[in-house]
Amino acid sequence: MTKNNNKSAEKSSENFYKLSIQVSLNGLSFCVADTLKNAILIGEHVNFGKELSPYEVQRELKDVLSEHNIHEMDISDVVVIHRNPLFSLVPKALFDKNELANYLKFNAKILATDLIAYDEIESHEMVNVYVPYMNINNFVFDLFGEFEFVHNGTVLLQSLLKSAGNTSEAVCYVNVGYRQMDMIILSKKQLHFYNSFNFYTKEDFIYYLLFTFEQLDLDPESIPLRLFGFIGEGDELYNICYEFVRNISIYIQDNMYSIGGDQKDTELDFTVLNAL
């Protein structure tokens, strides 16, 4: 297991298939891409409908991978994305890898036995400190050998910061999952806010959104709100946002991978695609 994937160097196959997996306690997503042909071969999102334990998530992942015979594919590279609220962003200038637990203990419930990892967010002088699901990492290592793992916030921030324009106005992005929302506010390619909230009702969702705007002195009548993830126009979350935020739209990022067969790009998680 490693933060740097070297498995592809050991394989002699002419195929360059990459497996991207995202796990959370509420659901999981995966896809396999042919990185030479820039094509998605297979992908799926599973919504658990409730919050599971990490070991129940492992069983779900085992079943999904077995159902699609992923173990029989000639996978060159694997990346696992951990989606959870057990993270903290630290300015790189203040970061000390010997103090990882101290960065988390005030805003996340961690155990003395938890392994803590970190990702450097390229070109933006930030470090994301987080707790990965180690049982998932061990399971994937047993299946595929060496692989890369990251936090979903790392993938989100790197992708959005890279694609964001140089507009001086703040733009709010919200990645919507099952009972979980990741909220990012950018301006001039700089991060102003990032946090993850668990919600149970549409009222919870709009509360977190509007409360953040209020705390940052942002006008909901004018700030652009870009929603993505498992949300669409006409959904109850979209509709309640539209009652309070006027400049609202579904965010669709350019995707370099073609989607084959009956697969729809809306069925593939944003971070799963952007981690390829």
pLDDT digits (tens, 9 = 90+) for 97-152: 999 999 998 888 888 788 999 999 978 899 999 999 999 999 999 999 999 999 99
Q: Which residues of 16-48 are buried (b: 16+ CB within 10 A; e: fewer)?
A: bbbbbbbbbbbbbbbbbbbbeeeebbbbbbbeb
The burial class, CB within 10 Å (0-12 / 13-18 / 19+), for 168 is: exposed
Residue 107: predicted pLDDT? 81
Distance CA 32, CA 229 (A): 19
Distance CA 161, CA 122 (A): 10
Distance CA 110, CA 108 (A): 6
Q: Which of 152, 131, 12, 120 is nearest to 76 (CA)?
A: 12
Distance CA 259, CA 273 (A): 11
Q: Which two tokens stand for residue 258?
A: 């073609």
Which residue is listed with tokens 């953040």?
A: 212
- 174-202 tens-digit pLDDT: 999 989 999 999 998 899 999 999 999 99
41 neighbors 17 (Cβ within 8 angstroms): yes
Structural domains of the chain, ranges and CATH numbers in brackets: 7-158+255-274 (3.30.420.250), 165-250 (3.30.420.260)
